[in-house]
């Protein structure tokens, strides 16, 4: 089992997932009709290799779109796809213009190795092309009385498309037939509405703009629809819609009430200086380090003292035990010598009488 684990670990550096020779962001999204620039980084050893960009997830089924060894781009802003390699920065840059929904999918940035024994080093990314609206920022917040601008971006098809729905109902017993027709116009009107209030809708009209005392609306006709609140009020806090025909996107406006003079005087004392964040100086850091060292030394000394006390107590106990054992052995030897078989503990209650020669003569 251990040999199998070592073999697996030794093979990890040779697996593609652990190479990271080519790096690329995992996912991109863009509105239809917009352009997208994608950086692709590689290792220094690939500075002179050919780089390529293709549509697909596997090398065998990847449609080549641009290569660094192909014809040099005269005008990258006009071409559908172009690639530029910078060996100094170790970076190849891919530019995709005039994106369509059909361009959504997996793409591959690769470095051509040119060897039959080693596959190309590649990185993958997924590009999602959106038809409709996109918010630059949501929610949008501002202080009461200030000005704030909302920007909604829209895709290419909404530049020249206006939907007018006609519903005709024909009654035949309990059946209804609904017919919807779409009418295309050169310039699509953009509308700004407060959610739940159809009477609040303001349209750009044929001129591409609208303005009154509270808001200014402008459509640049190339993908940006902006709404500017000239002077925010607390009642402007709500959800709104950027719309063109049947396509729309929600935007939330948050208005912060302006603090009154009374509230300000109560909450903030006059001439109060906000303390700056404390930053430790070098001296304080050195002092703290010295304290830490002293504390560590004290802890070590305390541990040594405790160990010494424990050792002394243990030695005393051992000496007492040895002394008691010697006394017991001496007592046993005395008892054996005098012809007694009594236990040593019983000797405490035994009286010993010594007789000399004179006493024997008297008794006899």
Residue 261 pLDDT: 66
Residue 288 pLDDT: 62
Report angle CA 139, 206, 77 to the nearest 5 degrees: 70
Residue 168 pLDDT: 38
Residue 58 pLDDT: 87
And the tokens for 315? 């030695």
And the tokens for 56? 């697909």
Q: What is the reported pTM?
A: 0.50
Residue 12 pLDDT: 43
**pLDDT tens digits for range 164-187:** 333 333 443 334 333 333 444 444
* Residue with tokens 């404390």, as numbered in its chain: 278
CA-CA distance, 85 to 92, in Å (whole number)?
4
Contact call for residues 335 and 348 (beta carbons, < 8 A): no
* Residue closest to 227 by CA, chosen among 122, 149, 308: 149
Contact call for residues 22 and 123 (beta carbons, < 8 A): yes
Maximum alpha-carbon separation in the chain: 160
All residue ranges of the chain with pLDDT < 50 are 5, 9, 11-18, 162-187, 263-264, 272-279, 340-342, 344, 347, 357, 359-364
DSSP count for the chain of H helices, then E strands: 4, 21
Which residues does residue 249 pair with via DSSP β-bridges, in sequence order?
242
**pLDDT tens digits for range 258-288:** 887 654 455 555 554 444 444 455 555 556 6
Residue 258 pLDDT: 85
Domains and CATH numbers, the chain: 17-130 (2.60.40.10), 133-161+187-257 (2.60.40.10)
Number of residues in the chain: 364
């Amino acid at each position: 089992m251990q040999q199998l684990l070592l073999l697996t670990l030794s093979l990890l550096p040779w697996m593609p997932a652990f190479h990271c020779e080519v790096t690329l962001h995992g996912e991109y999204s863009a509105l239809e009709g917009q352009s997208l620039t994608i950086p692709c980084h590689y290792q220094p050893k690939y500075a002179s290799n050919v780089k390529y960009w293709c549509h697909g997830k596997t090398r065998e089924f990847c449609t080549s779109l641009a290569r660094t060894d192909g014809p040099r781009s005269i005008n990258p802003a006009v071409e559908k796809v172009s690639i530029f390699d910078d060996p100094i920065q170790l970076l190849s840059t891919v530019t995709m213009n005039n994106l369509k929904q059909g361009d959504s999918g997996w793409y591959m940035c690769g470095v051509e190795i040119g060897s039959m024994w080693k596959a190309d080093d590649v990185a993958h990314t997924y590009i999602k092309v959106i038809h409709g609206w996109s918010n630059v920022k949501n929610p949008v917040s501002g202080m009461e009385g200030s000005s704030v601008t909302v920007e909604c971006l829209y895709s290419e098809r909404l530049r020249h498309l206006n939907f007018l729905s006609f519903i005709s109902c024909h009654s035949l017993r309990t059946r209804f037939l609904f017919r919807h027709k779409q009418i295309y116009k050169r310039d699509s009107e953009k509308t700004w509405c407060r959610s739940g209030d159809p009477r609040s809708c303001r349209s750009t009209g044929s001129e591409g703009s609208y303005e009154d005392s509270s808001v200014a609306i402008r459509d640049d006709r190339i993908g940006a629809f902006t709404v500017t609140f000239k002077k925010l009020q607390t009642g402007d806090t709500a959800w709104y819609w950027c719309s063109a025909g049947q396509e729309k996107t929600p935007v939330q406006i948050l208005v912060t009430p302006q603090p009154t003079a009374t509230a300000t005087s109560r909450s903030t004392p006059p001439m109060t200086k906000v303390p700056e964040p404390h930053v430790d100086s070098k001296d304080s850091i050195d002092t703290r380090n010295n304290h830490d060292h002293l504390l560590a030394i004290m802890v070590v000394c305390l541990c040594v003292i405790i160990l010494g006390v424990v050792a002394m107590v243990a030695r005393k106990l051992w000496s007492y035990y040895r002394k008691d054992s010697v006394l017991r052995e001496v007592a046993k030897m005395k008892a054996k010598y005098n012809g007694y078989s009594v236990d040593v503990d019983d000797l405490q209650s035994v009286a010993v009488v010594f007789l000399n020669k004179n006493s024997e003569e008297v008794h006899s």
